[in-house]
Structure formats: structure tokens, C-alpha cells
Amino acid sequence: MSNSYAVTSFTYENGHGVVPEEASKVATPAPAHKKKKLKQWREVLFDFTQNTTLHGIRFVFMDNVSICRRLMWLAVFLVCSTLMGIQIIERIIYFYGYPVTVNVHVNFNKTLAFPAITLCNQNAFRATAATDRQLYRLLEDMYSRHGPLQPTDDFLASHNLTDMRLEDLYLWTSHKKEDLIVGCEWQDEKCGPDNFTQILTDHGVCFNFNHDHQNTLRVSSTGSDYGLKLTLNVEQYEYMPGPHDAAGVKILLHDQREFPKVAELGLAIPTGTHTYVGIQLLRIQNLPEPHGTCRSQDSPYYSRYSPEACQLACMSERMGELCGCRHMYMPHVDGQPPICTLRQYLECYSKIISEVKDYVRDNCQCPVPCDFLIYDPTISFASTSVYATERLLASTASDELQDKFNNARETTARMDPLKFREFRDLAEDMRSRFDKLRNVIEVDVRSRLEQQHDTLEEVHHHMEEVYLNKLYLVKWQKYEVDKNFVRARQAMEERTLFSLALGFQEFSYQVESRIWEISHGPLSSNVTLSEDVKTGLYMDALNMINARVDLAERAFANYTQLYDAFYNGTSIFRYKYENEHRDLNTYVTPRPLLRQSLSHNSYAARYSVRLGDDINKVKDALLVYRDLLEESYQLGNISYEEIHQNNVIFLSRCRTFYSSKSSFYTESIEHPSKVLDAKIEDLERKWREFNSDLYSMYDKVVQLTKSLNYLGVTILDSLESSVHDAESYIHYAHVNSTIVTKMEVAQSLTSGKILKVNLYKRTFLKPSLPYDRRKSVYYKVVQLTKSLNYLGVTILDSLESSVHDAESYIHYAHVNSTIVTKMEVAQSLTSGKILKGISELGNFFGDIRSRGQSVYDEWSTLNASTGAIWQLVLNDENLLEYYTYMNRSDMLRDLAEVLSEVAGNYTQHRDNFDFRFELGNLDSLFLMSVQTMMEAMRRFIVGSELDKDFIQNNFLRLDIYYKEKSYEQITQQRAYDLFALMCDIGGSMGLFVGASVLTICELLDLGLHNSIYRLTHARG
């Protein structure tokens, strides 16, 4: 059958031309019995190109058009498509480059948080502290510039250093904040060392100001008057070999929650300056991945992330793996890894620290935090003015500071023959007096000291045993009462007593409302409730009342059990005390005290019984509620007055119950614990008084015997070295002036050990012993005995050698007259320290006999404090049952008998140890020789002047403040997001090919629609 075609006109967009007939053929409808023929893909694509919103493509596929024109449009379309693709790809690449922008805002605040200030001395160790701890040589070797220390087992063991931790090494020998911080002002208010917290950093022991991030100090104005002002003494005269060589301090401004890495980030401040540190606050907010690399996650090693904290945590973990320990400043988790001992530090840590730092740099990812603060400092310096120097001199000059600075001076009297002869005569006279005094000490004083040591040790040991036994039993009773009686009250309170009247106002209102609504309906309306609603209200109220009734019954049962337990002394629980057997609880229970607690005053007697009645009264009121509920539900007729009357009664009884319960708990249940606490406190106070009396007595015994033992305990202990130095100086002064100088002799002979009467600064008083133990009487007597032994073994030989050195000094005195200057001699003659020492020594020996009487009387005081302890021990009816059961006859003795026995023993000891008249005039002779020597040495001491040079070398002033009351906030933001990408893609499509999002939909429709249509009509 032939087809007929109609010619359809088609106008271009420019309004010209007619599409050829073939391009617009429209087939006449086929007969109804024929199926529609599927279009070929070529036809579908052609139709799409002629109707799509993708501009330009229809001109490429037009029929009967010049091939050149079609190629031209094809070229234009391809070029535009290519440009569009390039721009789209470039935008996609730019999007996945995750670009960011940085916004800078300047914020103006009324107040600004002040940063934490970590302050470190450039010198890590103090020479005097290291010497006192016998660590100076060790530190010198550890930080020698000639190479690291190579310790051996014998070296460390000989100094008891094998297990010493680095933390102890630094803490023992570091500068103290009390010495470093001379002056402190915060916003024109005084502050001081107490406002600084000692911390351990990578620079050593440092001190932190404003460290508490929960109570951060704030400033409201700019300038140094509204900041921190410090006057610091860096103690450069105490400097010694260490990890740092500079003089001054290092400071670091940081956030309170960040670890101060002072060694790497701190600012060095020199001495002799007034330094101004102006702060500019910056807040930086970074973006996390993929737009940035910041990190803010928490770690068990630190509470706030920072790159420094992250690196230290990584370093600590690595050190723990390699050495099994860490440095003292490194973070830890529950003490792991532990701080390195000295052996671990020297054998492992110091050898691999560089390797560990490299490992941390290469393997530990520690990016910048996402939100952090930077305190940007601006430093300016000014020299210390003369006026400020004079003020510092006036405020800091002291004997203690003078002593520290006065250790390396030499005198000019080396060439004076009279002085050398005087020195020789004094040295020989001192030896003669010492020999005579030593004989008395060896023969008489030694035996008396040994006897007194044994006696005092026995007294202290026996009384300590009595005290500790009594204290243990009273604490046992306290534990028994708290755990097996009082704790039962707590359990009963939680289960019944607390809940009985809980919310009684609300309960009363709810019950009242339900009773009334059952009988009369809701108060707010005249609606009559259905039977089902009434039944629901009835059951709800009944359950509430029955629950409280049950609580009342249980509460009364608990009260009865608790009351009976206190009255009969029968424990409710069976907790055992430490390793004691539970059966012994029966005998140690303070039954009289427990029963007494129920009636020890009028409140206890009244409320102990009344509480049970109050519980039952509450229960009765609840039962009345139940009766009223039944009446309202069954009869439906009840008056408001009946309900209100019972409400008043119930509320009153609940309040009375609360009052009774509180009084019962306070006056009865808690009374035994209070009594036992008071008994423990009283016992401990009596023990402290006993120790105080024992110490006081021994202190006076020390003062009594000190004139005899002075050579061995203080002066002679120093003279062993001092006289040897003096006579060595005499012998070698003009042969080799570097062996010993006369200034060293003078310093030795006028040192604090000789000038000051202070028994407790002897080198054999080991600081590792407990403080109370060091103060105890018998321990100090042991030290006196050791001093006597030491005196007899060593001093005589030293004095014989010293005389020889003195004669040698006289022989070579005039070989070199330039060793010392006359000015040094003049300065030594003006020293007031020596005069004070002579006065102290003169007064000391004059007081010995008067002190003897004080010691004699002190035995009576000790007798009284001993009797007070026995009175507390024996007068205790609450332990009689336990003592009887345990057959402790010593604790069942009559008090008067014990006190009489103690008084007799102490009287005998007092008479035996009274040796006031044993020394004769030997003390005066010895004192005379010492005074003469001290007077001769006075001119050799020169206290170094605390002048402006001293201030310049040791002091600095530091002002830290905000420059501006504003801060910069630097924030990273995403510069290009997905919406911007889509907009750019859409713009490129519209610009180059006139396409849009709808064009993409047309392409999808072309493929999907025709594919689905063909699949569904394929069989046709």
C-alpha cells in the first residue's frame, strides 16, 4: 500500500527557510488493524537533536543542508563541548583539592584571660644542695663537656645511687621558688612563691603561675600595672655544671591545659635587666581533614591536645618500649612507664634519646590542633636603674645571702710573722685543750650517754607499744560501731525509714483528692464519675495507702532491731576488722558506750523511744486514710471535714517523725562514733605531748652535754678539717698557694657549724629517716654517742698533722707576698658574723649548768605525760571485756600502782644522769682557746659586698602584661563547597553549549525511556 505525505512548513529560529519535505514527512495514520512500527535509534536520535535544549546540535544533524555548514556547526559544538569539559574537570579538581580561606577577625573584649606563666632558672642544680646530698661530683661528671659519664656498678652503689630516680635528683638539687621569687605583684596586689606551683618540664624543675584552668586570672586593662610583675634572684653564685650554660631565666606563656615545653619554646631573659613582655593573644581555628590536617582527639596521656603533648606522649611510649622508663617530665598513664632511675638514664636513656627524637619526628603524626591559643610576646629590655639597685640591696641583703656569696675570698695577712706565730700558738693550745676535754668525754660522758640512750629507747619503745595497742583497739571499736551498727542504720534508712514520710505533703494531697473525687466527683466541675473511674481511683489510692502502711511496719521493725542492737550491744552486721577474727567482735564491742548513747542526755533518752511511737502514729494515720477511702467508695458520702482533719493529723505526725528520726540519729546512733573519735584524738594528743616532753627533755640534755661534746658534735667535727686546713695553709702557703688559702682557713674556722649552736645539722643525721624519728630522744642520743666515737678515733691524728702544717706555713710565709691583698684583711676585720659567733660560744658554755637543772626537772614533766597516757589506757570500761577475754593482765592493773612504778623509775633515771658538775673548768679552758682562735680569724673573713655588680649578676625584674585588650581570631573556612561546584558546572554548560540541568534530564530520558520502551515492545 502506498503512503501519502504532507509537506509541513518549519521556520528556523531566525525566521527564514523551509525544511525539505523529507525532513517533515508525517505518515498518515495506518489502518486500525496495523500495529505502530518501532522507530529506529537513528530516528530517535534525530528527533532528540531537533527538540533538545542542547543548543547547536540540531544544526549538525539537519538534512538537505550543506555539508560545510554541518561540519562548521559540528566543529563549533565540539570546541564548545571540549571547553565546557575542561572547565568542569578543572572545577572538579579544584573541589577535590579542598581549598580553604583564612578569615582574620579582631575581637575587642572587656577582659582577657591571662596565660599560664612557666618560669625556669637557666641553671638546673644548686651547688650547695648538690654538695649536701653528695651529688656534686656525680652531676659534674654527668654534664661534663669532655664526654658522658660511664658509671659502673661500684660507682653507683658506693653513692647509694643505683635506684635513685631522675625526679628525686632534680627535686633534691633544684632552685627553690622561695629563693628565686624575691618580689611578686599581680595587678598591684602582693603575691609570692605560694602563688607559683612547682612543675617538672623538659628544662628541669620550674614554677608555674596561673596554672588552674578552672580559675584562670583575667585582666581588664592593658599595660604593666594590670599584669604580673616579678623580681627574681637567679642565684648565679649557686650555678654549677648542668644541662644549660646560660644565666638568667626562661619563661613560656601558654594555655593552662598545655604542657610547657620550656627548653624548646621558652624565652631567655638575662640578669641585670628590667624586661617587659607584652602579650598579643591569637586564637587560631583550623579545619580537619580533608580540608586541613588539624587534630583534637583526646589521649590517656593528656587532657588537651597539642603537638608538644602528642610528641611527648609518643616519646614516652617509645622510651618505655626501649628502656622501660621515661624522663620525669614525660606524660604517663597510671605511672607507666615509670620514671627512669639514674642507672637507666645513664645506661639507656641518654644513649638513645637522639634516636628516639628521630623516631618521633618520622613516625608520630602530631599535626596542629584545630582550636588553640598563641600568646605572641613582644620583649623589650631596660637596664636596672641605680635607684632600683639600691632598693633591691636594701630589701635582699641578709646574713644568709652574704654567707652564700662569701665563699671564695682571700686575705692579705699571709706575710705577717706575728699572725703566723699567733696562728701556730692558737693551734697548739687548741690541741692541748682538746686532749684534756676528750679524756673527760671518753671516760665519763660516754658511759652516761650510752646508759641514757638505752633507757630512753626502752621508755619510748614501751610507751609506743602501749599507745599503738590502745590506738589499734579504739580504732577497732570505731570500725565495729561504724560498720556493724551505724551502717545498719544507713541500710535501714535507704530501705524503709527514708521512704516512709517521703513527699508526705504530695501524698496527703493525692489521697485527699481521690477520696473526695470518689464521693463527690472532681472539684472543678459537677460531673459525676462512672463506677469504673471510681473503682480506678479507689484502687490507686488504696495501693498508695497500703504501700505506706507496709513501709511503716517495716520501718518499725528496723527501728526495733536497731534500738535493741544498741541497747544489748549485739551487732547487726558481721564485718571483720583487718585480719582479726569475727568472733572477737563480740568482746571488743563497746557495750557500755552503745547503751549509754540511748540515754546520755535528755534528747537521746526522749527521742530514742519516741521514734518508734512516731512510726506507729504515722501508720495509724494511714489506716484512718484507708477507712475514709473505704467509706467514700462504699457509701459515697463523706464530709470534707473528716478528710481535712486526718490530713492535719497525718502531716503533723510526719513532721514529728522526721524530727524524732533526726534527733535519734544525731544524739544516739552517731554518739558512739563521736565519742570514739574524741578518744582517738585525745589519745593521739597525749602521745604527741609525751613525745614533745621527751624531745624537750632530750633537747635540754643535749644542751647540758653539749659543752662536753661540742668538739665532737659541732666545733671539733669541723676542726678536724678546719685545723688541718689552717696548718696546711701555714706549711704550704708560700710553696703552692693553690693548695689551701688563708681565706679557706678563715671560712672553715668561722663556718656556721662553729658559730651556731645547732645540733641537728650534723652530716650523720640522714635525711632519709622519718622526721619524727630524727626528733626522737633516743635517736639523738645515738648521734651523740656516734660523735664521741668519731671524735676519739679521728681528731687526735688530725690535730697532730695540723700542727706540722702550721709550722710549715710559718717557715714559707714570705716567699710570695702577692697571694693576698691588705684590703682583704681590712674587710675581714669588719665582719660582724665572727663577733656574733664568739658571743654565742661564750653564752653557750655559761648556760650549761643552768640547763642541767632544767634537765633534772624535765623528768617530772615526762612522768606526767607518761601517766596521762596510762590513765587513758587503763580507765576504759569499754575494753575490760576484751582485756579479760584475752587475759591481758598488764592492762587490768590498778592505775595507782602503775603511776607509782613509773614515778619511781623516772626518779632513779633523773638522779643517775645528772652530771652537771663532772666537767669542772675544762669547758671554760676549751672555750677560751676557741674564742681566741675565732678572734684571730675574724680579720680573715670578708663578706663579699652586695653591691650593684651583685644585683646585675643575679637579679632581674620582669613585667608581663597585655599590650592590647583585643585579640585576633584566625579562622580557616572551606573556600569551595559542593553547591559552588554545581553552580560552576551549570555555568559552564550554559556558557558553552546552552545546556542546563534539564538537558541532563533530557539525556537521561532519551536513554531510559527508549530502552524501556523497546524492551517492553520488543515482541511486537
Write the secondary structure of 889-913 as one string of H (helix), E (strand) and C (coil). Answer: HHHCCCHHHHHHHHHHHHHHHHHHC
Dihedral pair phi/psi, residue 191, rounded to 5°:
-140, -175
Choose among 167, 169, 184: nearest CA to 117: 184
Q: Which residue has the cell 521556520?
A: 11
Q: Are residues 625 and 758 in the same domain?
A: no
Distance (Å, rounded) from C-alpha 698 to C-alpha 460? 12
Element (H, E) at 731: helix 715-732
Reduced DSSP (H G I as helix, E B as strand, rest coil) percent helix, strand, coil of the chain, to 5:
60, 10, 30
Choose among 181, 989, 727: nearest CA to 719: 727
3-state SS of 544-587 is HHHHHHHHHHHHHHHHHHHHHHHHHCCCCCCCCCCCCCHHHHHH
User: Which cell numbers hold the place of 548?
Assistant: 505506706
**pLDDT at residue 620 in the model:** 92
Eight-class DSSP state of 123 = -
Distance (Å, rounded) from C-alpha 821 to C-alpha 412? 4
Q: Are residues 527 and 610 in the same domain?
A: yes
Q: 233 has which bridge partners?
A: 955
Side by side, the strands of the sheet bearing 249-254 are: 196-201, 204-209, 116-121, 249-254, 267-269
3-state secondary structure of 791: helix
Q: Are residues 807 and 661 in the same domain?
A: no
Distance (Å, rounded) from C-alpha 210 to C-alpha 217? 7
**pLDDT at residue 560 in the model:** 92
Q: Are residues 984 and 911 in the same domain?
A: no
- The length of the chain in residues reads 1020
CB under 8 Å to 779, separation ≥6 — which residues?
769, 773
Q: 12 has which bridge partners?
A: none
Q: Which residue has the cell 570514739?
A: 676
**pLDDT at residue 406 in the model:** 58
- Does 530 map to a domain? yes
* Burial category of 657 from C-beta neighbours within 10 Å (exposed 0-12, middle 13-18, buried 19 and up): buried
**pLDDT at residue 420 in the model:** 56
For 407, 813, 821, 830, 877, the CA distances from 942, given in Å and listed in that order, are 9, 21, 12, 8, 69
Q: Is the peptide bond before 260 cis (omega within 30 degrees of 0)?
A: no
Asked if residue 118 lies in contact with residue 206, where contact means CB atoms within 8 angstroms, the answer is yes
Instruction: Please report, as a single letter, which amino acid is at residue 530.
Output: S
Asked if residue 118 lies in contact with residue 207, where contact means CB atoms within 8 angstroms, the answer is yes
Element (H, E) at 249: strand 249-254
Q: Are residues 606 and 723 in the same domain?
A: no
Q: 186 has which bridge partners?
A: 189, 228
Q: 268 has which bridge partners?
A: 250
- Does 283 map to a domain? no
Q: Are residues 583 and 546 in the same domain?
A: yes
Distance (Å, rounded) from C-alpha 514 to C-alpha 506? 12
Choose among 649, 631, 653, 652: nearest CA to 515: 631
Distance (Å, rounded) from C-alpha 761 to C-alpha 702? 14
Q: Are residues 588 and 693 in the same domain?
A: no
**Cα 691 to the center of its chain, rounded Å:** 33
Among 908, 938, 968, give the residue marking a domain's end. 938
User: Which cell numbers hold the place of 370?
Assistant: 584545630
Asked if residue 459 lies in contact with residue 690, where contact means CB atoms within 8 angstroms, the answer is no
Choose among 247, 272, 237, 232: nearest CA to 951: 272
Element (H, E) at 189: strand 189-190
In our burial notation (b when 16+ CB lie closer than 10 A, e otherwise), range 498-533 reads eebbeebeebbeebbebbbbbbbeeeeeeeebeeee
Q: Are residues 624 and 578 in the same domain?
A: yes
User: Which cell numbers hold the place of 783?
Assistant: 648521734
- Does 950 map to a domain? no
For 642, 712, 740, 968, the CA distances from 754, given in Å and listed in that order, are 96, 11, 20, 63
Q: Are residues 590 and 725 in the same domain?
A: no
Distance (Å, rounded) from C-alpha 747 to C-alpha 1010? 112
Angle between helices 922-937 and 417-440 (to 10 degrees): 150
- Does 926 map to a domain? yes
3-state secondary structure of 381: strand
Q: Are residues 632 and 701 in the same domain?
A: no
Dihedral pair phi/psi, residue 819, rounded to 5°:
-65, -40
Among 669, 697, 725, give the residue marking a domain's end. 669
For the chain, the domain total comes to 3
For 738, 799, 800, 990, the CA distances from 794, given in Å and listed in that order, are 26, 9, 11, 108
Choose among 249, 277, 278, 280: nearest CA to 263: 249
* Range(s) of the domain holding residue 510: 501-669
Sign of CA dihedral 931, 933, 934, 939: positive
**pLDDT at residue 864 in the model:** 87
Q: Are residues 840 and 989 in the same domain?
A: no
Neighbours of 219 (CB within 10 A): 19
Per-run averaged pLDDT (10 residues), the chain, 1020 residues: 38 41 44 54 68 70 75 82 85 82 80 92 83 77 63 64 84 89 90 92 93 88 89 83 87 90 90 91 83 77 83 90 91 89 87 90 87 87 77 69 54 43 69 72 68 78 89 90 89 87 86 81 68 83 89 91 90 87 88 90 89 90 88 80 87 91 90 91 89 75 57 46 52 48 53 42 34 41 44 41 43 43 37 51 57 72 86 86 87 86 83 67 71 62 65 88 84 77 78 70 71 68
Asked if residue 95 lies in contact with residue 207, where contact means CB atoms within 8 angstroms, the answer is no
**pLDDT at residue 851 in the model:** 63
Distance (Å, rounded) from C-alpha 731 to C-alpha 957? 48
Choose among 217, 222, 237, 230: nearest CA to 269: 230
User: Which cell numbers hold the place of 910?
Assistant: 633523773
3-state secondary structure of 196: strand
- Does 16 map to a domain? no
User: Which cell numbers hold the place of 635?
Assistant: 457509701
Where would I find the H helices in 187-345? 262-265, 307-322, 342-344
- Does 433 map to a domain? yes
User: Which cell numbers hold the place of 497?
Assistant: 525509714
**pLDDT at residue 1018 in the model:** 63
**pLDDT at residue 306 in the model:** 84
- Does 863 map to a domain? yes
Please state whether beta strands 273-285 and 955-974 pair in parallel, antiparallel, or not at all (unpaired).
parallel
CB under 8 Å to 58, separation ≥6 — which residues?
49, 50, 51, 52
Asked if residue 570 lies in contact with residue 587, where contact means CB atoms within 8 angstroms, the answer is no
**Cα 159 to the center of its chain, rounded Å:** 31
Dihedral pair phi/psi, residue 525, rounded to 5°:
-150, 175
In our burial notation (b when 16+ CB lie closer than 10 A, e otherwise), range 775-792 reads bbbbbbbbbbbebbebbe
- Does 662 map to a domain? yes
Among 625, 644, 669, give the residue marking a domain's end. 669
Q: Which residue has the cell 660560744?
A: 841
Q: Are residues 990 and 930 in the same domain?
A: no
CB under 8 Å to 747, separation ≥6 — which residues?
406, 407, 409, 941
Asked if residue 828 lies in contact with residue 939, where contact means CB atoms within 8 angstroms, the answer is yes
